[in-house]
Amino acid sequence: MLTVTMTAKEKFKEALQTRKMDLEIAVRIIPSPSKPNWLELVFDKEKEGDQVVRTEEGRKVLLIGAELMPALEEVVIDYRETPEGTGFTISKPAPNA
């Protein structure tokens, strides 16, 4: 199951608010058209079959198309601030030994 941390949800919400996006617009994860095995974030409206991630208040913040969901099984989306920079991370925890 895909996990989106509270920090990531809040950062998606902030990005949508600072751009004064319509409440129907959210961030969508898509495969990169120019980089194989990379993902990109774009603004989009919900489509039929999407998995929708919402904040605690119910605001749509992240959209994942049905075709991408199998690739995101057991993935964690987070937002990190480190000395190297800030941004969203997509990782898959190591299996328990």
The answer to whether residues 49 and 6 touch, using CB atoms and an 8 Å cutoff, is no
List domains and CATH numbers for the chain.
Answer: 3-91 (2.60.300.12)
Q: What is the pLDDT of residue 18?
A: 83
Q: How far apart are CA 93 and CA 33, in angstroms?
A: 26
* Exposure letters 50-63 (e unless 16+ CB within 10 A, then b): beebebeeeebbbb
pLDDT band at 96 (very low <50, low <70, confident <90, very high): low
The answer to whether residue 47 scores a pLDDT higher than 90 is: yes
Q: How confident is the model at residue 45 (pLDDT cuts 50, 70, 90)?
A: very high
CA–CA gap between residue 40 and residue 84 (Å, rounded): 20
Alpha helices in the chain (DSSP H): 6-18
pLDDT tens sequence across 50-85: 999 999 899 999 999 999 999 888 899 999 998 889
